Chains A and B, each alone.
Chain A
């Protein structure tokens, strides 16, 4: 099974709201990722967790706050977002960091009003 699940599928939020995106994998993968993808662009890396520790933060604004409660779960907490943050947010996981393919979830379509 190579499934990564994400909830919710769609999210509409105002600029003053606080919401969270959730991601789960049961493949025993030790690396998990958050990507942001705009229309007709490739995924853009935001954060990487390796063995539940934050490994990479690609200079993401502090209004995005990642959390890895355990090796199977990854959250992305959102607050005070801007309309330009509207995008498809993708979670991925891989066996490890080096030379391993990433498996992506279906994504959360986020709209900030």
Chain B
């Protein structure tokens, strides 16, 4: 069965303090790994799709990387506006009906 585990559950950083969020996954053939940002009471905002090990994508202060077992979301010199819950999701080749499986998320709080 496909599984996604995100760590840590919550993370508090000072403004400017770089860090990484982890998404470990077990899937029988990866079709895609997705990162989303979600602010309280709002819908998830799409950030990145990664398809194969070694792939990297960047957007402003965020960089997502992928290995065969995990993905990292690196946050460089974060600002308070980067505070949000970051969700990782995977879609496996053997997933029934191509469902995506979400992790429980990492709640990130950037202190000014």
Interface residues of A (CB under 8 A from B): 2, 4, 6, 40-43, 45, 48, 55-56, 88, 90, 92, 97-107, 109
4 cross-chain pairs, A with B, having the tightest CB-CB distances, nearest first? A104-B43, A42-B102, A97-B98, A99-B32
Task: List, in ascending order, chain A residues with CB within 8 A of B49's CB.
Answer: 99, 101
Q: How far is the CA of A56 from the CA of B95 in the complex (A)?
A: 12
Q: Which of A43, A55, A99 contacts B102 (CB 8 A)?
A: A43
Given known A-B contacts A2-B46, A42-B87, A99-B32, A88 and B41 have beta carbons under 8 A apart = yes
Task: List, in ascending order, chain A residues with CB within 8 A of B51's CB.
Answer: 99
Task: List, in ascending order, chain B residues with CB within 8 A of A42's CB.
Answer: 87, 102-105
A38 to chain B, nearest CB (A): 12
A41 to chain B, nearest CB (A): 7
Task: Check if A99 sits within 8 Å of B43, measured CB to CB.
Answer: no
Task: Check if B42 sits within 8 Å of A55, measured CB to CB.
Answer: no
Is B34 an interface position by the 8 A CB rule?
yes
Q: How far is the CA of A56 from the CA of B87 in the complex (A)?
A: 22
Q: How far is the CA of A63 from the CA of B91 in the complex (A)?
A: 29
Task: Give 1 or 0 for each of B81-94: 1 = CB within 8 Å of chain A CB.
Answer: 00000010001000
- A91 — nearest CB in chain B belongs to which residue? B43
Task: Check if A107 sits within 8 Å of B43, measured CB to CB.
Answer: yes
Task: List, in ascending order, chain B residues with CB within 8 A of A98's CB.
Answer: 31, 91, 98
Q: Which of B32, B46, B99, B105 contacts A45 (CB 8 A)?
A: B99
